Amino acid sequence: MVGICAGLTTGVREVEAQEARKDAAPKVTVLVLKEMDFVRMQPAAYMQAFRTTLAGKVPGSVVYSEGVRLRRMEDPAYLDQLANALRAKYADGVSAIVTTGPASLSALLNVRDEVCPGIPVVFTGVTEAELAGMTLPKDTFGV
């Protein structure tokens, strides 16, 4: 958990600096895209530990979470629905996005340019072999 937050802290430093320059208290919002199916559910304790650890490193931070349905990842209509939902729900923007596995990272990379271009991404739970077929933007960090 500390590694995820360290990577996230690296990804949001510029956001904090921009907010500080606006003479406003920095507000860091993080969206966590969790992989969901009947086998691979993220336990509530994981999210609570993430929120607690991040709050200790970035006071006042806000963490949102959304589930990505693994069984529908190959359906282009699902990816369109996901993009539309994320764009509408997070229209005010987020400071960073965390993904919790290869499918959620892949889904995000497919819709990122239209939903959250330029937003830092921290990914977890992805092996070297799973990364081999992906092209990662420069502001994407693995933990």
pLDDT tens string 22-77: 455 557 888 888 877 544 555 677 788 888 998 888 888 888 888 777 667 777 88
pLDDT band at 121 (very low <50, low <70, confident <90, very high): very high
User: CB–CB of 95/15 below 8 Å?
Assistant: yes
Residue 62 to residue 138: CA distance in whole angstroms: 24
Instruction: Give the span between the Cα atoms of 96 and 86, in whole angstroms.
Output: 13
Query: Is pTM beyond 0.75 here?
Result: no
Burial (Cβ within 10 Å: 0-12, 13-18, ≥19) of residue 44: exposed
Closest CA to 40 of 73, 75, 4: 73
Residues 94, 97: Cα–Cα separation, whole Å: 7
Q: Given this model, what pLDDT does residue 16 score?
A: 54
Q: Is the pLDDT of residue 5 over 70?
A: no
